[in-house]
A and B are shown apart, each in its own frame.
Chain A
Protein backbone atom coordinates (compact mmCIF):
# COMPACT_ATOMS: atom_id res chain seq x y z
CA UNK A 1 0.00 0.00 0.00
CA UNK A 2 1.36 3.36 -0.98
CA UNK A 3 0.32 6.08 1.45
CA UNK A 4 0.66 9.75 0.68
CA UNK A 5 2.02 11.41 2.69
CA UNK A 6 4.78 9.06 3.72
CA UNK A 7 4.43 8.18 7.40
CA UNK A 8 6.57 6.51 10.06
CA UNK A 9 4.60 3.25 9.72
CA UNK A 10 5.41 3.16 6.01
CA UNK A 11 9.10 3.54 6.85
CA UNK A 12 8.87 0.79 9.47
CA UNK A 13 7.32 -1.59 6.97
CA UNK A 14 9.92 -0.85 4.29
CA UNK A 15 12.80 -1.20 6.76
CA UNK A 16 11.48 -4.60 7.84
CA UNK A 17 10.93 -5.84 4.29
CA UNK A 18 14.21 -4.64 2.88
CA UNK A 19 16.68 -4.94 5.71
CA UNK A 20 14.99 -6.74 8.61
CA UNK A 21 14.98 -5.50 12.18
CA UNK A 22 17.50 -5.72 14.98
CA UNK A 23 16.04 -7.67 17.92
CA UNK A 24 17.64 -5.24 20.38
CA UNK A 25 15.76 -2.28 18.89
CA UNK A 26 12.04 -1.60 19.33
CA UNK A 27 11.11 -0.38 15.88
CA UNK A 28 7.57 0.27 17.13
CA UNK A 29 8.85 2.65 19.81
CA UNK A 30 9.78 6.32 19.66
CA UNK A 31 12.37 6.15 16.90
CA UNK A 32 11.74 9.39 14.98
CA UNK A 33 14.82 11.12 16.34
CA UNK A 34 17.15 8.13 16.74
CA UNK A 35 19.66 7.95 13.91
CA UNK A 36 19.62 4.93 11.62
CA UNK A 37 23.05 3.77 12.78
CA UNK A 38 21.75 3.46 16.33
CA UNK A 39 18.73 1.57 15.01
CA UNK A 40 21.10 -1.04 13.57
CA UNK A 41 21.05 -0.01 9.90
CA UNK A 42 24.35 0.39 8.07
CA UNK A 43 24.84 2.16 4.77
CA UNK A 44 23.84 -0.83 2.64
CA UNK A 45 20.60 -1.27 4.59
CA UNK A 46 19.83 2.39 3.94
CA UNK A 47 20.68 2.03 0.26
CA UNK A 48 18.16 -0.82 0.06
CA UNK A 49 15.60 1.17 2.07
CA UNK A 50 16.01 4.25 -0.12
CA UNK A 51 15.72 2.17 -3.27
CA UNK A 52 12.48 0.61 -2.05
CA UNK A 53 11.01 4.03 -1.16
CA UNK A 54 12.05 5.43 -4.54
CA UNK A 55 10.45 2.69 -6.59
CA UNK A 56 7.30 2.46 -4.48
CA UNK A 57 6.64 6.19 -4.45
CA UNK A 58 8.12 7.03 -7.82
CA UNK A 59 10.55 9.64 -6.48
CA UNK A 60 14.31 10.17 -6.41
CA UNK A 61 16.09 10.76 -3.11
CA UNK A 62 19.45 12.48 -2.77
CA UNK A 63 22.38 10.74 -1.06
CA UNK A 64 22.06 13.04 1.96
CA UNK A 65 18.63 11.64 2.78
CA UNK A 66 20.15 8.22 3.51
CA UNK A 67 23.27 8.62 5.62
CA UNK A 68 23.61 6.48 8.79
CA UNK A 69 23.53 9.64 10.93
CA UNK A 70 20.18 10.63 9.42
CA UNK A 71 17.07 10.15 11.54
CA UNK A 72 13.71 8.70 10.47
CA UNK A 73 12.19 12.19 10.95
CA UNK A 74 14.63 13.73 8.48
CA UNK A 75 14.10 10.93 5.96
CA UNK A 76 10.31 11.16 6.22
CA UNK A 77 10.51 14.92 5.66
CA UNK A 78 12.76 14.41 2.64
CA UNK A 79 10.39 11.85 1.14
CA UNK A 80 7.34 14.08 1.71
CA UNK A 81 9.24 17.02 0.24
CA UNK A 82 9.64 15.01 -2.96
CA UNK A 83 6.00 13.90 -2.87
CA UNK A 84 4.59 17.41 -2.40
CA UNK A 85 3.02 18.78 -5.56
CA UNK A 86 5.17 21.39 -7.26
CA UNK A 87 3.98 24.92 -6.40
CA UNK A 88 1.72 26.46 -9.09
CA UNK A 89 3.42 29.35 -10.88
CA UNK A 90 1.95 32.72 -9.81
CA UNK A 91 0.74 34.84 -12.65
Chain B
Protein backbone atom coordinates (compact mmCIF):
# COMPACT_ATOMS: atom_id res chain seq x y z
CA UNK B 1 0.00 0.00 0.00
CA UNK B 2 1.31 3.43 -0.85
CA UNK B 3 2.59 5.75 1.87
CA UNK B 4 0.99 9.11 2.68
CA UNK B 5 3.97 11.45 2.85
CA UNK B 6 3.79 14.96 4.33
CA UNK B 7 5.75 17.15 1.93
CA UNK B 8 4.67 20.64 2.90
CA UNK B 9 3.84 22.55 6.07
CA UNK B 10 1.90 25.79 6.39
CA UNK B 11 1.91 27.00 9.98
CA UNK B 12 -0.24 29.78 11.44
CA UNK B 13 0.48 29.66 15.16
CA UNK B 14 0.17 32.20 17.95
CA UNK B 15 3.89 31.59 18.42
CA UNK B 16 4.78 32.31 14.82
CA UNK B 17 3.54 32.75 11.27
CA UNK B 18 5.40 30.35 9.02
CA UNK B 19 7.29 27.17 9.88
CA UNK B 20 10.61 28.78 10.80
CA UNK B 21 9.16 31.33 13.22
CA UNK B 22 6.94 28.68 14.80
CA UNK B 23 9.72 26.13 15.18
CA UNK B 24 12.27 28.47 16.73
CA UNK B 25 9.66 29.72 19.23
CA UNK B 26 8.61 26.15 19.99
CA UNK B 27 12.14 24.86 20.58
CA UNK B 28 12.94 27.86 22.76
CA UNK B 29 9.67 27.47 24.65
CA UNK B 30 8.44 31.01 23.95
CA UNK B 31 4.81 31.30 24.97
CA UNK B 32 2.22 33.43 23.17
CA UNK B 33 -0.40 33.18 25.89
CA UNK B 34 -1.58 36.55 27.13
CA UNK B 35 -4.67 38.64 27.88
CA UNK B 36 -7.39 38.58 25.21
CA UNK B 37 -7.07 41.67 23.00
CA UNK B 38 -9.47 40.78 20.20
CA UNK B 39 -12.50 41.80 22.26
CA UNK B 40 -13.14 43.06 25.77
CA UNK B 41 -12.97 39.90 27.88
CA UNK B 42 -12.86 41.62 31.27
CA UNK B 43 -16.30 40.46 32.35
CA UNK B 44 -15.90 36.86 31.20
CA UNK B 45 -14.63 34.18 33.59
CA UNK B 46 -11.74 33.31 31.22
CA UNK B 47 -9.53 36.15 30.01
CA UNK B 48 -6.38 34.63 28.53
CA UNK B 49 -5.83 33.39 24.98
CA UNK B 50 -3.17 32.40 22.49
CA UNK B 51 -3.75 35.04 19.81
CA UNK B 52 -2.00 35.38 16.47
CA UNK B 53 -0.50 38.84 16.24
CA UNK B 54 0.44 40.65 13.07
CA UNK B 55 -1.57 38.70 10.51
CA UNK B 56 -2.79 41.06 7.77
CA UNK B 57 -4.95 39.05 5.41
CA UNK B 58 -4.89 41.75 2.73
CA UNK B 59 -1.12 41.27 2.40
CA UNK B 60 -1.64 37.67 1.33
CA UNK B 61 -5.06 37.26 -0.26
CA UNK B 62 -6.99 38.76 -3.19
CA UNK B 63 -9.45 41.54 -2.41
CA UNK B 64 -12.39 39.48 -3.63
CA UNK B 65 -11.82 36.96 -0.81
CA UNK B 66 -11.76 39.40 2.09
CA UNK B 67 -15.49 40.24 2.38
CA UNK B 68 -16.46 36.58 2.14
CA UNK B 69 -14.10 35.01 4.68
CA UNK B 70 -13.89 34.55 8.43
CA UNK B 71 -10.50 35.00 10.05
CA UNK B 72 -10.05 31.22 10.32
CA UNK B 73 -10.51 30.86 6.55
CA UNK B 74 -8.05 33.65 5.77
CA UNK B 75 -5.48 31.97 7.99
CA UNK B 76 -6.20 28.58 6.42
CA UNK B 77 -5.91 29.90 2.87
CA UNK B 78 -2.53 31.47 3.60
CA UNK B 79 -1.35 28.34 5.40
CA UNK B 80 -2.38 26.26 2.38
CA UNK B 81 -0.41 28.58 0.08
CA UNK B 82 2.64 28.16 2.30
CA UNK B 83 2.26 24.37 2.45
CA UNK B 84 2.05 24.12 -1.35
CA UNK B 85 5.03 26.42 -1.70
CA UNK B 86 7.00 24.41 0.87
CA UNK B 87 6.32 21.23 -1.11
CA UNK B 88 7.28 22.87 -4.38
CA UNK B 89 3.83 22.26 -5.86
CA UNK B 90 2.19 24.55 -8.39
CA UNK B 91 -1.35 23.21 -8.34
CA UNK B 92 -2.25 24.69 -11.71
CA UNK B 93 0.70 23.05 -13.44
CA UNK B 94 1.63 19.89 -11.58
CA UNK B 95 -1.58 17.88 -11.27
CA UNK B 96 -4.94 17.43 -12.97
CA UNK B 97 -7.71 19.18 -11.03
CA UNK B 98 -9.37 15.88 -10.04
CA UNK B 99 -6.07 14.51 -8.67
CA UNK B 100 -6.00 17.10 -5.87
CA UNK B 101 -8.33 17.04 -2.87
CA UNK B 102 -8.82 18.95 0.37
CA UNK B 103 -9.76 17.48 3.76
CA UNK B 104 -9.65 19.80 6.75
CA UNK B 105 -10.94 19.58 10.29
CA UNK B 106 -13.19 22.15 11.90
CA UNK B 107 -14.57 22.45 15.39
CA UNK B 108 -16.66 25.59 15.33
CA UNK B 109 -16.77 27.14 11.87
CA UNK B 110 -16.43 30.85 11.20
CA UNK B 111 -17.78 32.16 14.50
CA UNK B 112 -16.63 35.75 14.21
CA UNK B 113 -18.15 36.20 10.76
CA UNK B 114 -21.33 34.52 11.96
CA UNK B 115 -21.54 36.65 15.06
CA UNK B 116 -21.27 39.87 13.06
CA UNK B 117 -23.98 38.81 10.62
CA UNK B 118 -26.32 37.59 13.37
CA UNK B 119 -25.85 40.93 15.11
CA UNK B 120 -26.98 42.67 11.89
CA UNK B 121 -29.94 40.31 11.63
CA UNK B 122 -31.23 41.17 15.11
CA UNK B 123 -30.29 44.85 15.21
CA UNK B 124 -30.96 45.93 11.60
CA UNK B 125 -32.90 43.19 9.85
CA UNK B 126 -32.38 40.30 7.45
CA UNK B 127 -31.70 42.65 4.55
CA UNK B 128 -28.41 43.62 6.22
CA UNK B 129 -27.01 40.08 6.50
CA UNK B 130 -24.17 39.43 4.07
CA UNK B 131 -24.95 37.03 1.24
CA UNK B 132 -21.65 35.37 2.17
CA UNK B 133 -23.04 34.30 5.52
CA UNK B 134 -24.52 31.44 3.47
CA UNK B 135 -21.13 29.72 3.62
CA UNK B 136 -18.60 31.87 5.48
CA UNK B 137 -19.54 30.43 8.90
CA UNK B 138 -19.78 26.85 7.69
CA UNK B 139 -17.62 23.98 8.97
CA UNK B 140 -16.60 22.96 5.44
CA UNK B 141 -15.70 26.48 4.32
CA UNK B 142 -11.93 26.13 4.74
CA UNK B 143 -11.91 23.01 2.57
CA UNK B 144 -14.15 24.74 0.04
CA UNK B 145 -12.16 27.94 -0.21
CA UNK B 146 -8.83 26.10 -0.42
CA UNK B 147 -10.29 23.92 -3.20
CA UNK B 148 -11.57 26.91 -5.16
CA UNK B 149 -8.45 29.03 -4.75
CA UNK B 150 -6.18 26.22 -5.94
CA UNK B 151 -8.44 24.58 -8.53
CA UNK B 152 -8.62 21.30 -6.61
CA UNK B 153 -11.60 19.20 -7.69
CA UNK B 154 -10.68 15.82 -6.20
CA UNK B 155 -12.22 14.23 -3.11
CA UNK B 156 -12.84 16.81 -0.42
CA UNK B 157 -14.50 17.02 2.94
CA UNK B 158 -14.45 18.23 6.50
CA UNK B 159 -14.17 16.30 9.76
CA UNK B 160 -15.88 17.74 12.84
CA UNK B 161 -14.76 16.04 16.06
CA UNK B 162 -13.32 18.93 18.05
CA UNK B 163 -9.59 18.60 18.75
CA UNK B 164 -9.48 14.98 17.59
CA UNK B 165 -10.67 16.13 14.17
CA UNK B 166 -7.24 17.41 13.27
CA UNK B 167 -5.93 13.85 13.37
CA UNK B 168 -9.08 12.33 11.88
CA UNK B 169 -8.65 14.62 8.86
CA UNK B 170 -5.10 13.35 8.32
CA UNK B 171 -6.34 9.78 8.62
CA UNK B 172 -9.02 10.39 6.02
CA UNK B 173 -6.37 12.03 3.86
CA UNK B 174 -4.27 8.89 4.03
CA UNK B 175 -7.34 6.82 3.07
CA UNK B 176 -7.93 8.98 -0.02
CA UNK B 177 -4.29 8.78 -1.05
CA UNK B 178 -4.40 5.00 -0.77
CA UNK B 179 -7.50 5.04 -2.96
CA UNK B 180 -5.56 6.82 -5.66
CA UNK B 181 -5.64 10.60 -5.21
CA UNK B 182 -1.98 11.68 -5.33
CA UNK B 183 -2.29 14.96 -3.43
CA UNK B 184 -4.47 16.13 -0.55
CA UNK B 185 -4.33 19.42 1.34
CA UNK B 186 -5.12 18.57 4.96
CA UNK B 187 -4.95 19.86 8.53
CA UNK B 188 -7.08 22.42 10.30
CA UNK B 189 -7.27 26.03 11.42
CA UNK B 190 -9.72 27.51 13.91
CA UNK B 191 -10.09 31.07 15.18
CA UNK B 192 -13.07 31.53 17.47
CA UNK B 193 -11.72 34.35 19.62
CA UNK B 194 -14.86 36.49 19.56
CA UNK B 195 -17.57 36.80 22.22
CA UNK B 196 -19.79 34.15 20.65
CA UNK B 197 -16.91 31.73 20.16
CA UNK B 198 -15.72 32.49 23.67
CA UNK B 199 -19.06 31.71 25.27
CA UNK B 200 -19.30 28.49 23.27
CA UNK B 201 -15.90 27.44 24.57
CA UNK B 202 -16.75 28.47 28.14
CA UNK B 203 -19.70 26.10 28.00
CA UNK B 204 -17.27 23.17 28.04
CA UNK B 205 -16.29 24.12 31.61
CA UNK B 206 -12.70 23.32 30.66
CA UNK B 207 -11.23 26.84 30.43
CA UNK B 208 -8.95 28.16 33.12
CA UNK B 209 -10.02 31.32 34.89
CA UNK B 210 -6.43 32.17 35.77
CA UNK B 211 -5.11 35.61 34.82
CA UNK B 212 -1.44 34.66 35.00
CA UNK B 213 -0.12 33.77 31.52
CA UNK B 214 2.78 31.77 32.97
CA UNK B 215 0.70 29.58 35.24
CA UNK B 216 -2.69 29.32 33.55
CA UNK B 217 -2.44 26.23 31.35
CA UNK B 218 -0.58 23.56 33.30
CA UNK B 219 -1.21 20.03 32.02
CA UNK B 220 0.18 17.25 34.24
CA UNK B 221 0.84 19.79 37.01
CA UNK B 222 -0.70 19.68 40.50
CA UNK B 223 -2.00 23.21 39.83
CA UNK B 224 -3.79 22.33 36.57
CA UNK B 225 -6.95 24.43 36.31
CA UNK B 226 -8.12 24.00 32.73
CA UNK B 227 -6.78 25.25 29.43
CA UNK B 228 -6.30 28.52 27.58
CA UNK B 229 -7.98 28.67 24.15
CA UNK B 230 -6.02 29.84 21.16
CA UNK B 231 -6.36 30.37 17.43
CA UNK B 232 -4.54 29.03 14.40
CA UNK B 233 -3.32 25.62 13.37
CA UNK B 234 -1.51 24.10 10.44
CA UNK B 235 -2.20 22.98 6.91
CA UNK B 236 -0.25 19.95 5.76
CA UNK B 237 0.32 18.95 2.17
CA UNK B 238 0.16 15.18 1.92
CA UNK B 239 1.17 13.26 -1.17
CA UNK B 240 1.40 9.75 -2.45
CA UNK B 241 5.02 8.99 -1.52
CA UNK B 242 5.75 7.47 -4.94
CA UNK B 243 4.47 10.57 -6.70
CA UNK B 244 6.45 12.89 -4.40
CA UNK B 245 9.67 10.91 -4.60
CA UNK B 246 9.31 10.99 -8.37
CA UNK B 247 9.96 14.74 -8.05
CA UNK B 248 12.98 14.06 -5.87
CA UNK B 249 11.19 15.19 -2.70
CA UNK B 250 12.08 13.54 0.62
CA UNK B 251 9.30 15.17 2.66
CA UNK B 252 8.94 15.43 6.41
CA UNK B 253 7.42 12.13 7.36
CA UNK B 254 4.88 9.44 6.70
CA UNK B 255 1.45 9.15 8.30
CA UNK B 256 2.26 5.62 9.43
CA UNK B 257 -0.60 4.71 11.75
CA UNK B 258 -3.95 5.88 13.02
CA UNK B 259 -6.37 4.80 15.70
CA UNK B 260 -9.59 6.34 16.93
CA UNK B 261 -12.06 5.46 19.65
CA UNK B 262 -15.03 6.90 21.45
CA UNK B 263 -15.30 7.08 25.21
CA UNK B 264 -17.86 4.95 27.02
CA UNK B 265 -20.83 6.60 28.66
CA UNK B 266 -19.72 8.66 31.69
CA UNK B 267 -20.02 6.73 34.99
CA UNK B 268 -20.22 3.43 33.11
CA UNK B 269 -17.16 2.26 35.03
CA UNK B 270 -15.55 1.21 31.74
CA UNK B 271 -12.03 2.30 30.81
CA UNK B 272 -11.80 5.51 28.72
CA UNK B 273 -11.07 4.90 25.04
CA UNK B 274 -7.72 6.66 24.74
CA UNK B 275 -5.46 3.67 25.41
CA UNK B 276 -7.29 1.67 22.75
CA UNK B 277 -6.89 4.46 20.16
CA UNK B 278 -3.14 4.59 20.85
CA UNK B 279 -2.76 0.81 20.61
CA UNK B 280 -4.67 0.68 17.34
CA UNK B 281 -2.45 3.45 15.93
CA UNK B 282 0.72 1.57 16.91
CA UNK B 283 -0.58 -1.68 15.43
CA UNK B 284 -1.63 0.11 12.27
CA UNK B 285 1.86 1.61 11.99
CA UNK B 286 3.44 -1.78 12.71
CA UNK B 287 5.57 -0.37 15.49
CA UNK B 288 5.96 -1.64 19.02
CA UNK B 289 5.71 0.67 22.01
CA UNK B 290 9.48 0.72 22.48
CA UNK B 291 9.94 1.99 18.93
CA UNK B 292 8.05 5.21 19.64
CA UNK B 293 10.58 7.96 20.43
CA UNK B 294 8.32 10.78 21.57
CA UNK B 295 4.66 11.48 22.36
CA UNK B 296 2.95 14.80 21.68
CA UNK B 297 0.25 14.73 24.33
CA UNK B 298 -3.31 15.98 24.15
CA UNK B 299 -2.60 17.73 27.48
CA UNK B 300 -6.09 18.72 28.55
CA UNK B 301 -4.88 20.58 31.62
CA UNK B 302 -7.61 19.25 33.91
CA UNK B 303 -6.65 16.72 36.60
CA UNK B 304 -9.22 14.09 35.64
CA UNK B 305 -8.38 14.23 31.93
CA UNK B 306 -4.63 14.44 32.52
CA UNK B 307 -4.95 11.33 34.66
CA UNK B 308 -6.72 9.44 31.86
CA UNK B 309 -4.01 10.38 29.38
CA UNK B 310 -1.10 9.65 31.72
CA UNK B 311 -2.59 6.28 32.63
CA UNK B 312 -3.07 5.39 28.96
CA UNK B 313 0.53 6.33 28.17
CA UNK B 314 1.86 4.42 31.18
CA UNK B 315 -0.22 1.38 30.22
CA UNK B 316 1.00 1.33 26.62
CA UNK B 317 4.63 2.41 27.06
CA UNK B 318 5.38 1.69 30.70
CA UNK B 319 5.72 4.38 33.39
CA UNK B 320 8.12 7.12 32.30
CA UNK B 321 9.35 4.98 29.41
CA UNK B 322 8.84 7.49 26.58
CA UNK B 323 9.47 11.25 26.46
CA UNK B 324 6.16 13.16 26.43
CA UNK B 325 5.75 16.80 25.49
CA UNK B 326 3.00 19.38 25.12
CA UNK B 327 4.28 22.37 23.15
CA UNK B 328 0.67 23.52 23.00
CA UNK B 329 1.40 25.03 26.43
CA UNK B 330 2.90 27.90 24.38
CA UNK B 331 -0.18 28.40 22.18
CA UNK B 332 -3.20 27.23 24.12
CA UNK B 333 -5.60 24.67 22.69
CA UNK B 334 -6.53 25.55 19.13
CA UNK B 335 -9.68 23.56 18.44
CA UNK B 336 -9.33 21.68 15.19
CA UNK B 337 -6.00 23.44 14.58
CA UNK B 338 -4.31 21.97 17.65
CA UNK B 339 -3.54 18.48 16.44
CA UNK B 340 -2.34 19.56 12.97
CA UNK B 341 0.00 22.03 14.68
CA UNK B 342 1.21 19.22 16.94
CA UNK B 343 1.73 17.05 13.86
CA UNK B 344 3.77 19.83 12.27
CA UNK B 345 5.74 20.09 15.51
CA UNK B 346 6.27 16.33 15.62
CA UNK B 347 7.46 16.21 12.00
CA UNK B 348 9.88 19.07 12.68
CA UNK B 349 11.05 17.32 15.84
CA UNK B 350 11.79 14.19 13.79
CA UNK B 351 13.64 16.22 11.19
CA UNK B 352 15.77 18.16 13.66
CA UNK B 353 16.22 15.54 16.39
CA UNK B 354 14.83 17.89 19.02
CA UNK B 355 11.92 17.43 21.43
CA UNK B 356 10.48 20.87 22.16
CA UNK B 357 9.61 21.56 25.80
CA UNK B 358 6.34 21.78 27.68
CA UNK B 359 6.46 25.26 29.22
CA UNK B 360 5.41 26.58 32.63
CA UNK B 361 4.65 23.08 33.97
CA UNK B 362 6.14 21.41 37.05
CA UNK B 363 5.11 17.83 36.39
CA UNK B 364 3.33 15.95 39.15
CA UNK B 365 5.38 12.74 39.61
CA UNK B 366 2.12 10.95 40.35
CA UNK B 367 1.39 10.92 36.62
CA UNK B 368 4.41 8.66 35.97
CA UNK B 369 5.28 10.26 32.63
CA UNK B 370 8.62 11.61 31.42
CA UNK B 371 7.40 15.11 30.57
CA UNK B 372 9.99 17.20 28.72
CA UNK B 373 10.09 20.52 30.56
CA UNK B 374 12.56 23.36 30.86
CA UNK B 375 14.75 23.15 27.77
CA UNK B 376 14.33 21.23 24.53
CA UNK B 377 15.83 17.74 24.53
CA UNK B 378 18.16 16.76 21.69
CA UNK B 379 17.84 13.12 20.78
CA UNK B 380 17.71 11.07 17.58
CA UNK B 381 14.07 10.57 16.65
CA UNK B 382 12.48 8.30 14.10
CA UNK B 383 8.89 7.77 15.22
CA UNK B 384 6.44 10.08 17.01
CA UNK B 385 2.94 9.62 18.37
CA UNK B 386 0.47 12.50 18.40
CA UNK B 387 -2.57 12.22 20.65
CA UNK B 388 -5.71 14.36 20.49
CA UNK B 389 -9.01 14.27 22.30
CA UNK B 390 -12.20 16.04 21.33
CA UNK B 391 -14.91 17.29 23.64
CA UNK B 392 -17.69 14.73 23.85
CA UNK B 393 -15.57 11.58 23.86
CA UNK B 394 -13.43 11.58 20.73
CA UNK B 395 -9.96 10.01 20.99
CA UNK B 396 -7.49 9.89 18.13
CA UNK B 397 -3.85 8.97 17.76
CA UNK B 398 -1.50 9.22 14.78
CA UNK B 399 1.95 7.73 14.38
CA UNK B 400 4.36 9.62 12.12
CA UNK B 401 7.67 8.23 10.92
CA UNK B 402 10.56 10.36 9.73
CA UNK B 403 10.99 10.43 5.96
CA UNK B 404 14.22 8.88 4.77
CA UNK B 405 15.87 10.07 1.55
CA UNK B 406 15.18 7.43 -1.10
Contacts and interface: CB of A to CB of B under 8 A. Distances in A.
Interface of A: 16-23, 40, 44-45, 47-48, 51, 54-55
B127 interface: yes
Given A20-B64, A20-B67, A55-B127, 10 more contacts: A18-B67, A19-B67, A21-B64, A22-B64, A23-B63, A44-B68, A45-B64, A45-B131, A48-B67, A48-B131
A51 B67 CA distance: 14
Contact of A21 (B63, B68, B127, B130): B63
A73 B177 CA distance: 49
B62 A19 contact: no
A21 B65 CA distance: 9
Contacts of B131: 44-45, 47-48, 51
Nearest to B67: A20
B98 interface: no
Nearest to A27: B63
A20 B130 contact: no
Q: Would you list the 10 A-B pairs with minimal beta carbon distance, nearest first?
A: A48-B131, A20-B63, A47-B131, A20-B64, A21-B63, A55-B127, A20-B67, A20-B66, A22-B64, A44-B131
B406 interface: no
Interface of B: 62-68, 127-128, 130-132, 134
Contacts of B127: 51, 54-55
A16 B127 CA distance: 18
A18 B134 CA distance: 14
A47 B68 CA distance: 13
Would you call the interface of chain A mostly helix, strand, loop, or mixed?
helix
Contacts of B134: 44
Contacts of B66: 20
B65 A48 contact: no
Nearest to B69: A20
A44 B134 CA distance: 9
B62 A22 contact: yes
Nearest to A47: B131
Contacts of A54: 127
A7 B132 CA distance: 25
A32 to B, nearest CB: 20
18 contacts: A16-B63, A17-B67, A18-B67, A18-B130, A19-B68, A20-B62, A20-B68, A21-B64, A23-B63, A44-B132, A45-B64, A45-B131, A47-B131, A48-B67, A48-B130, A48-B131, A51-B131, A54-B127
Contact of B64 (A19, A47, A51, A55): A19
Contacts of B68: 19-20, 44
A17, A22, A54: most-surrounded residue (chain B CB, <10 A): A22
Given A54-B127, A55-B127, A48 B64 contact: no
B310 to A, nearest CB: 49
Given A19-B67, A19-B68, A55 B62 contact: no
A63 to B, nearest CB: 14
B147 to A, nearest CB: 15
A55 B125 CA distance: 10
Contacts of B62: 20, 22-23
A19 B127 CA distance: 16
Contacts of A51: 127, 131
A20 B65 contact: yes
A48 B65 CA distance: 14
A58 B70 CA distance: 29
A14 to B, nearest CB: 11
A34 B134 CA distance: 27
Contacts of A55: 127-128
A47 B66 CA distance: 16
A81 to B, nearest CB: 20
